[in-house]
A = this chain, B = another copy of it.
Amino acid sequence: VSLILTPVPGIPLIKAGDDLSKIILSAMERAGLSILPNDILVIAQKVVSKAEGRLVNLASVVPSEEATSLAVETEKDARLVELILRESCEVLRKRPGAIIVEHRCGFVCANAGIDHSNVKGDGGNDEDWVLLLPEDPDQSAHEIQQKLITLSGCQVGVAIIDSHGRAWRNGTVGTCIGLAGVPGLVDLRGKPDLFGYQLKITQVGAGDELAAAASLVMGQADEGTPVVHVRGFPYAFRETSLKELIRPREMDMFR
């Protein structure tokens, strides 16, 4: 009946082409962690992106005029801004130090999720390497899930998460960017409450609650635990997509 979140120790530094599913299962085996049906593996975006070769050297990026102008306005590196714009479909807010965008995958986040810390490139000045989000995080989650199922024989779920800032509140929280099997949204609309009233609307962002929980045990500045094993997730697996968690633009009062 408990929900148990266990960081998987001993995940090595990940490089392009690595097979994350194999690496995760090996690390779990070395750590004596079992895998059972309905378990979930929550994976930090960073290692998925690295395995997919999403490192970019800023020295190779030529900023557009738009990027150059936005870079001045936001006091950022124009080459980084160029990548942010390429990875986004809309800039929602900008000010010195911050560019908040709708990522091309639909979610709202700072800097299109492009990461500068803990990135070590393949030559040149390390400070010039940045890491883009996976090309298609839902697809990444799906592929990792399928391989985990094949290798382990267990029907498991996968969530890929990142740390996102929020409107109104300080601090980042772990947030889903890709899902496989794990429901993003659980719809309790119409389920009667204790006294038999109809609940009018209760849609729970279960995938994001899971992401936040896993983030808590991943730590932040330590890449040693980018994978968390979860047992006891209370909702049934099904076909899922991150899209469940994205509020349609026309329903969003805070764009």
A residues 195-227 with Cβ under 8 Å of B?
Answer: 195, 197, 199, 202-213, 215-217, 219-223
Contact residue among B9, B192, B217, B233 (Cβ-Cβ distance under 8 Å from A216): B233
Q: Mark A238-255, 1 if CB is under 8 A from B, else 0.
A: 000000111100001111
Given contacts A209-B174, A213-B212, A220-B202, contact A195 B244 (CB under 8 A): no
Q: How far apart are the CA atoms of A234 and B4 in the complex, in Å?
A: 14
Q: How far apart are the CA atoms of A119 and B255 in the complex, in Å?
A: 34
Given contacts A4-B2, A223-B194, contact A168 B246 (CB under 8 A): yes
| Cβ-based interface call for A3 (8 A) | yes
| Cβ-based interface call for A22 (8 A) | no
Contact residue among B108, B188, B205, B221 (Cβ-Cβ distance under 8 Å from A170): B205
Contact residue among B116, B120, B168, B212 (Cβ-Cβ distance under 8 Å from A212): B212
Q: Mark A107-136, 1 if CB is under 8 A from B, else 0.
A: 110000000111110000011000000000
Q: How far apart are the CA atoms of A232 and B228 in the complex, in Å?
A: 14
Chain B residues contacting A221 (CB-CB under 8 Å) are 188, 191-194, 199, 202
Q: Mark A170-192, 1 if CB is under 8 A from B, else 0.
A: 11111100000000111010011
Pair A205/B2 contact, Cβ less than 8 Å: no
Q: How far apart are the CA atoms of A29 and B206 in the complex, in Å?
A: 29
| Cβ-based interface call for A43 (8 A) | no
Interface size on A, residues (CB 8 A): 74
- A31, chain B: closest CB distance, angstroms: 10
Closest to A219 in B: B234
Chain B residues contacting A254 (CB-CB under 8 Å) are 93, 167-168, 254
Q: Which residues of A are interface residues toward B (Cβ below 8 A)?
A: 1-7, 9, 93, 95, 98, 100, 107-108, 116-120, 126-127, 163, 166-175, 184-186, 188, 191-195, 197, 199, 202-213, 215-217, 219-223, 232-234, 244-247, 252-255
A-B interface, 5 closest residue pairs, ranked by CB to CB distance from nearest: A171-B205, A213-B213, A212-B212, A167-B254, A167-B167
Chain B residues contacting A120 (CB-CB under 8 Å) are 195
